Structure 1
Amino acid sequence: MRSLRLMTYNVRYFGHGTGGLFSTPSDLRSIADAIAAMTPLCDVIALQEIEDHSLRSALVTWHPTKVKHQLTEWMTDLARALDRRGIGEAYDAHYFPAHRYALTKTTHLYTTGLAVLVGPRLEVVSDAQDRIEDITHRRGAKSLKQTRICAHLTLRLRDGQRVTTGENATGDLDVFNTHLSLPGPFYREFWTGAQRLGFGPNQLQEAQRLARAIERRRRSPRVVLMG
C-alpha cells in the first residue's frame, strides 16, 4: 500500500501579481517552478480559478492563428520546469469549465473553471462524462450569478496497488474539487465581520448541495474534498 501527496491551490487565473485581473508570464512560470521543485512531487493537484480561453487570458496566450487555452499554456511551463529537474514524466490535466462571460458565441470577456492534475502513478478510472455538478445557489437576478461547480474524478494507482488514505483504508479514491461563493453582498453576514467562509446563507446552501453531490457521485468509501 502507498500513500499519496495531495495539493490544492487557488491560482487566481495566474494573476497574483495583478490582483487577479489578468495572468502574467512570470506568474505562470513561478507557479510551475514551485510545483516542479516539490520533493516528493504531488500525486494530485487541484486548481481553482483557472481560465479556459478569453480576452483576458489572451493577454498572455494570444496567437494569431489558433485559440490557446490557459491550462494548456501553463502545462507547457510545468513540463519545462520538470524537465529542468530531469523528470520526464508528465501530469494528466483535466479541465472543468464553470462560467463564461460571453460577448459573442465565440468570444468571451473572461471565463472561470477548475482543474485537476493527475500524477503519473495514478489513472482515472471513472468513465462518466458528466463529471461536473452545478452547486450554485441562485436567487434574484439568476443570470448574473457566477456558476459554482464541483468537479469529480475517481483515481487508482497504475501498478495495481491500492491507495492508502488512512489506517486500514485501501481502494480507489474519489477526488472532488470545488470553489464556493463568497457571502453575497445582499446578506447581512457579508457586512458584519471579516470572515468570508461559512457566514452567508448562500454558502451554506452551496455546501449542502456539495455534500449531496459527493454522496451521490462517489464510487468508493475513500473521498477527498479539495478547494
Structure 2
Amino acid sequence: MSMECTTADCQNHTSTYLCTGCIRDLQAWLDMVPDLVKALSVTVAKLDNVRPAGGGGGGGHKPGSAAPINLDALQLQENLRTVGTDAKAYAHDPRAAGLALLIQDWVNKAEILVSGPNEPPVNHAANRERIKNIAPAMPTRQLLPWLKLHAQIIVTSKDIRNWAHRGKLRAVERTPQPTYNPHEVLDVWYETRREESHA
C-alpha cells in the first residue's frame, strides 16, 4: 500500500504513516531521550525555580510538608519514560506524525530545563517552516547574515560551495551570481549536523 507521509508538508510516498526521512528525523529525537531522562533526575531535585510538591500557591514551604521539587522537570521525565526507542515502530501508528511532534516538543522542553533558560535550544524545524514561507532566494553575501539573524545559525561561504559541489544544495538562479533558498540551506545545515553527530 502506497500513501503520503502524514507529517505536515512532507508528501513523500511511503508504505507506512512516516516516510524514511521522517523516520530518520524521529529516531534522532528518540536517541536523545535516555540521556535527558537521566539529566532530568538532577533537575527534578534542584531547589532553584521550583514549586512545592502537591501544588503551588502562596504561603511558602511549611515545616513537615513534602520537599520542594521541580514539577515541570518531573512531568517531562515521566512523559519521556513512556517514549519508545524505535522510530520504525511509530511509523505504523496512524497518529505517528502527531506523536513525533509531541516527542520533539518534550525533548525541546527537557533540554531547556536541563541546560537552563539562558541557552535554550533553537527549534530548527520551526525555523525551516518559518523561513520557507517568508524568505526568497538570495546570493551568499546576503544569505549568510540573514541566516545568522533569523535562524540563529552560522554558515560560511565555504559551506555553501562545498554543499553545492557535493550536490546537497542547488542554486535557484546561476547568473549573474548563484542564489539559494534559505530553507534549503537550513535543511542541509541540519542534515550535516545530524550526520556529524552520528559519525
Larger % of helix: which? 2
Does TM, normalized by the shorter one, top 0.5?
no
Larger % of strand: which? 1
Shorter-normalised TM-score: what interval?
under 0.3
